[in-house]
Chain A
Amino acid sequence: MEKLAFNPQVLMASLYVFALAAFLGYQIISRVPPLLHTPLMSATNALSAISVVGALVVAGRHNENPVSTWLGFAAVISASINVVGGFLITDRMLKMFKREIPADKGKKDKGNTK
């Protein structure tokens, strides 16, 4: 039970982490070009599926109330949909963004076929 008790030091440390992460996030993400806003959204979605680590513990630990295990199980499912899906779809999108090469190839195709 002592793990659950109020601990001001832990709370303060968490608040520091929150504030610094917010600052860092602002700095990095405001530099992401609009070109990549959709991949950004699906990437951060995949990252926030890190709640899977919380879900794993709730699903796997010994719970006084079996409902907790069920809730944890459902949480593992929905979080891992995002983990797997988020990274796969982001990569699938990013693969499509090319600077020049396809345009040149496309032009050549056109030259040949038309």
Chain B
Amino acid sequence: MSFYIELTYLLASILFVFGLKGLTRPESARRGMLLACAGMAAAIIGTLFAHEIVSYTWIIWGLVIGGVIGAVISIWMPMTAMPERTAFSHACGALAAALVGAGEYANYGGNMGVVKVSALGFEIMLGCLTFTGSMIAFGKLYGTLPGPPITFKGQNVFNMTLLAVMLGSFGYLVYDSYSAIAFYLMMGLAFVFGVLLVIPIGAADMPVVMSLMNSYAGLAAAATGFVLGNNILIIAGTLDGFSGFILSILMGKAMNRSMKSVLFGAFGSVKTASTSTAGGAMREVSLDDVAVQLAYAKQVVFVPGYGMATAQAQYACRELANLLESRGVTVKFGIHPVAGRMPGHMNVLLAEANVPYSLLYEMDQINPDLPQTDVAVVIGANDVVNPDARDNPGSPIAGMPIIEVDRAKSVVVLKRGKGKGFSGLENPLFFKPVTGMLYGDAKSSLTSLALAVQEV
């Protein structure tokens, strides 16, 4: 029997790989996911025939409860809540891996042998710290926890000590696999460590954290595969782990963070007070002026940021874009890799608002276009268009690649108020002569702009 179960796992692995391959092109993505889903179904159904299983009561209840919760969340969740949902699902995935590991240890204890206990250690540590870390990220994204970094004196020393004790108990567990105290100490410390890992990271750095948690959750699942001697867990977990790892590197590059700070989160990279080169006054512009500018422009580039998500302004933005297009204006969207709170966040929101993806341009594609652009409209973005990153080597974000809206013929910045925004950094873009500031809620500003453009 177990041979046939292995066959369903092999089938599932192949389908998973094809499924991910589908994601390399938007046209084939949905079909690919259908394949992956079929693979998952095959693996689950195959497992239900495993000879170890003696009772289906808990299994059925677990599948039903989990399935209903998963379905409810994903059907009724608004798209703007995507980062929170993703953080939550990292937490669930990691917790599942950790619980399987804990279940194995509770049943077999030290009889597992040194290799399996080592794998189990990785599984438990990664699973537990990803669970609490992701829950903290969820809290920050959902707004129940404060967004700015939470720091305290001696944080790094404290965290490092904790990490050392955790690794020490892991080492002892490998030495003496019967030591339940070492096991539970390691587990408890991993939970605490996950919290400490994420609280010093600001909300604006969330794309890196999300990718990192994605990676850890996958590696925890892969470690589960080593513990159970189950290849499909290793394959799927590794695919997830590497996907998260690649995204972490990409996000790190897009924020000019080193590999070290990506791998170890915010350790030692707590931002110091910003130096500012900005001076002068911001120029406020009127709605009607902007409407005229937009209406008679040849090319307009929209640069969205997290502010667009919080204001739910993607539909209003699409309306305005359509209106401009119908007047013969070339409209493009410039998307920075770390705009928003998770990789690809802006693309999903704009797709939701029916903006075709042929209008969505990556940073490297849009930058050469900007000098020929008549108006660049910045919607609730800040750091990703901050020219300090390019011009001021002393800036905390120096070296971070930006969308160079300041090279456009004119810039309009839609901003909620005159404050510094999420990152707390001064943005010299706002003080440049080409820049006009349009204060107010992004959604209502865009809606009024659309109305005003019709009047022109």
Look across to chain A and name the residue whose beta carbon is closest to the beta carbon of B69: A81
Bound: A51/B130 CA distance, A: 15
> Within 8 Å CB of B65, what residues of A?
77, 80
Contact: A60 with B59, CB < 8 Å? Answer: yes
For the complex, is B436 an interface residue (Cβ under 8 Å from A)? no
For the complex, is B165 an interface residue (Cβ under 8 Å from A)? no
Would you give the 0/1 interface string for B344-367, flagging 1 where the beta carbon is closer than 8 Å to chain A?
110110011011111110100000
For the complex, is B234 an interface residue (Cβ under 8 Å from A)? yes
For the complex, is B410 an interface residue (Cβ under 8 Å from A)? no
Bound: A24/B17 CA distance, A: 8
> Within 8 Å CB of A52, what residues of B?
44, 47, 96
Bound: A46/B96 CA distance, A: 12
On whether A51 and B344 interact (CB within 8 A), knowing A44-B239, A57-B52, A71-B99, the answer reads no
Considering only residues 234-259 of chain B, those with a C-beta below 8 Å from chain A are 234-244, 246-247, 250
For the complex, is B152 an interface residue (Cβ under 8 Å from A)? no
> Within 8 Å CB of B218, what residues of A?
44, 48
Contact: B54 with A58, CB < 8 Å? Answer: no
On whether A50 and B43 interact (CB within 8 A), knowing A35-B26, A61-B54, A103-B325, the answer reads yes
Contact: A35 with B344, CB < 8 Å? Answer: yes
Contact: B356 with A34, CB < 8 Å? Answer: no
Bound: A54/B47 CA distance, A: 9
Of B108-116, B266-274, B386-394, which stretch is located at the interface?
Answer: B108-116
Which among B30, B50, B102 is the interface contact of A95 at CB below 8 angstroms? Answer: B30
Contact: B344 with A41, CB < 8 Å? Answer: yes
Contact: B74 with A88, CB < 8 Å? Answer: yes
On whether A67 and B21 interact (CB within 8 A), knowing A34-B344, A38-B82, the answer reads no
Bound: A11/B83 CA distance, A: 37
Most buried by B among A74, A78, A89: A78
Look across to chain B and name the residue whose beta carbon is closest to the beta carbon of A98: B356
Contact: B86 with A6, CB < 8 Å? Answer: no
> Within 8 Å CB of B23, what residues of A?
32, 36, 39-40, 43
On whether A73 and B62 interact (CB within 8 A), knowing A82-B96, A89-B77, the answer reads yes
Of B32-40, B289-297, B374-382, which stretch is located at the interface?
Answer: B32-40
Contact: A44 with B240, CB < 8 Å? Answer: yes
Contact: A97 with B357, CB < 8 Å? Answer: yes
Bound: A2/B381 CA distance, A: 59
Of B197-205, B224-232, B298-306, which stretch is located at the interface?
Answer: B224-232
Contact: A1 with B111, CB < 8 Å? Answer: yes
Contact: B358 with A84, CB < 8 Å? Answer: no
> Within 8 Å CB of A5, what residues of B?
113
For the complex, is B168 an interface residue (Cβ under 8 Å from A)? no
> Within 8 Å CB of A60, what residues of B?
50, 52-56, 58-59
Contact: B246 with A30, CB < 8 Å? Answer: yes
Bound: A21/B322 CA distance, A: 44
24 A–B contacts, CB within 8 A, in A order: A14-B226, A17-B231, A17-B234, A18-B238, A25-B241, A28-B24, A40-B247, A41-B343, A42-B86, A43-B33, A47-B19, A53-B232, A54-B224, A54-B233, A60-B59, A63-B103, A75-B99, A76-B59, A76-B66, A84-B67, A85-B89, A89-B77, A98-B357, A106-B318
